[in-house]
Amino acid sequence: MTSDGTPSPAPSSVEHSPSSKHEQVGAWSALWASKHRCDESKPQEAALLHRIVPAQRLDGKACAAEVEAALLQRVKTLTANGTIPHLAVLIVGDDPASHVYVNSKVKMCERLGIRSTHIALPANTSEQTVRQHVAELNQQDDLDGILIQSPLPNHMDEEALTDLILPSKDVDGFHPQNLGRLVQGRRDGLLPCTPSGVMRMLDWAGIDLKGKRAVVLGRSRIVGMPAALRLAARGADATVTVAHSKTEDLPSVCAEADVLVAAVGRAEMVQASWVKPGAIVVDVGINRVDDASRERGWRLAGDVSPEVEHVASWLSPVPGGVGPMTIAMLMENTVRSAESRHVGGTE
Ligand code: NDP
């Protein structure tokens, strides 16, 4: 047991022979059952408690490929009607990871036939200069989407700059008007990309959320809170708890979840012992961790321990899960914006 009284995770092993995996799952399940008074004599609960099959993969890459194929057709239709969707991406500073993200967005635009404008400004750019760029982009009639790559240098007020983007061009979905529409349960605004990607991926996997207990770990403006709103919205109909750094006994809160969405930015924090057997786990986290075995000296890790694979029924991988879906949803927002601005909307 850990100091907070929760079951300690079983020791991890690199090779999972069927028997050792079975033992691990058995140990976690027994601890989970004793903690949550699960009745192993009931067939449904027993089945959940003794899972030995690894979780099914919530394959964001495959789902994103389907989204892209559909977008390609929509872009072709727009282009045939004289409108080429156009996205502007503005980045300030030299953060290497941010430049990688921007490049992958620009490349995706190329693949789909979306025009892109890439504005890269040095780290010492004044906030006023960025404001001027946003004002000009707002005025540009052939432009459908504006994205300011996060994070901005410390001397800039990211939220204030987001507020300047025209809501109809706010393809990130972070403008208060778009977030406000989300709170109202309306679907006519531009919705934040990562939560949209999570919802689309769950739908793609045929997962019915109605009546399920969902826990969202993280309450950020861009991921946690909008994800919680999407899960609780009419149509999705999950019952949602939002957990954060002040939540008491996080493992027990997570263990209540039929659906657990982890968006904390803490590498592999969610342990197998925190997860209800059979739960659906979506790992939003993207963390760089040192890894001497890799030539580059690091690897990407999610917020969820790999051991969760042996407890959950579905698990999204990192990389290849929510990441590709986020970019796909950005492209979809850009195409939607182009459709509604130029041909009155096709959805
Ligand atoms: P933020 O740092 O803005 O928010 C993190 C949230 O996690 C906060 O609500 C914070 O709580 C909570 N938190 C932090 N530490 C703990 C802890 N020890 N226990 C409980 N809660 C904790 O991060 P983001 O929401 O922007 O991103 C989260 C993760 O998702 C990151 O790894 C990020 O890289 C990744 N990400 C992935 C994307 C993708 O496309 N896959 C897109 C965007 C983000 P509090 O509010 O109390 O501080």
Residue 282 and residue 206 share a domain: yes
* Top mutation candidate among 223, 249, 281, 331 for ligand 1, by most atoms within 8 Å of CB: 223
Tokens 């590498």 correspond to 267
CB-based pocket (< 6 A), ligand 1: 194, 218-220, 222-224, 244-247, 250, 263-266, 284-287, 322-323, 326
What are 121-160's pLDDT values in tens digits?
Answer: 999 999 999 999 999 999 999 999 999 999 999 999 999 9
Which of the four pLDDT bands, split at 50, 70 and 90, describes residue 53? confident
How many structural domains does the chain have?
2
Burial of 167 (0-12, 13-18, 19+ CB in 10 A): middle
Residue 198 and residue 180 share a domain: no
d(CA 163, CA 175): 5
* Top mutation candidate among 244, 266, 305 for ligand 1, by most atoms within 8 Å of CB: 244
What are 1-34's pLDDT values in tens digits?
Answer: 333 333 333 333 333 344 455 555 556 556 556 6
Decide if 63 is inside a domain: no
The full length of the chain comes to 347
Residue 41 above 60 pLDDT?
no
Mean pLDDT of 319-326: 97
Which residues have CB under 8 Å from 141's CB, separation 6+? none
Residue 226 and residue 180 share a domain: no
Residue 177 and residue 131 share a domain: yes
* Cα torsion angle, 311, 313, 319, 325, sign: negative
CATH number of the domain encompassing residue 212? 3.40.50.720
User: In ligand 1, which atom is closest to the CA atom of 244?
Assistant: 21
**DSSP, residue by residue, 145-186:** EEEEPSPPPTTS-HHHHHHHS-GGG-TT--SHHHHHHHHTT-
- Which residue range forms the structural domain that includes residue 215? 18-25+35-52+194-324
Instruction: Tell me how far the alpha carbon of residue 223 lies from the centroid of ligand 1, in angstroms.
Output: 8
User: In ligand 1, which atom is closest to the CA atom of 264?
Assistant: 7
CA distances from 342 to 106, 140, 168, 171, 339 (A): 22, 13, 12, 16, 5
User: In ligand 1, which atom is closest to the CA atom of 197?
Assistant: 40
d(CA 254, CA 273): 10
Task: Tell me the pairing of strands 298-301 and 287-290.
Answer: antiparallel
What are 160-215's pLDDT values in tens digits?
Answer: 999 999 999 999 999 999 999 999 999 899 999 999 999 999 999 999 999 999 99
Which residues have CB under 8 Å from 189's CB, separation 6+? 167, 173, 177, 178, 180, 181, 182
Question: Does residue 194 contact residue 223 with C-beta atoms inside 8 Å?
Answer: yes
CATH number of the domain encompassing residue 136? 3.40.50.10860
Based on its alpha-carbon atoms, the radius of gyration of the chain, rounded to whole angstroms, reads 22
Which of the four pLDDT bands, split at 50, 70 and 90, describes residue 39? low
Decide if 330 is inside a domain: no
Residue 215 and residue 141 share a domain: no
45-54, 62-71, 268-277: the lowest-pLDDT one: 45-54
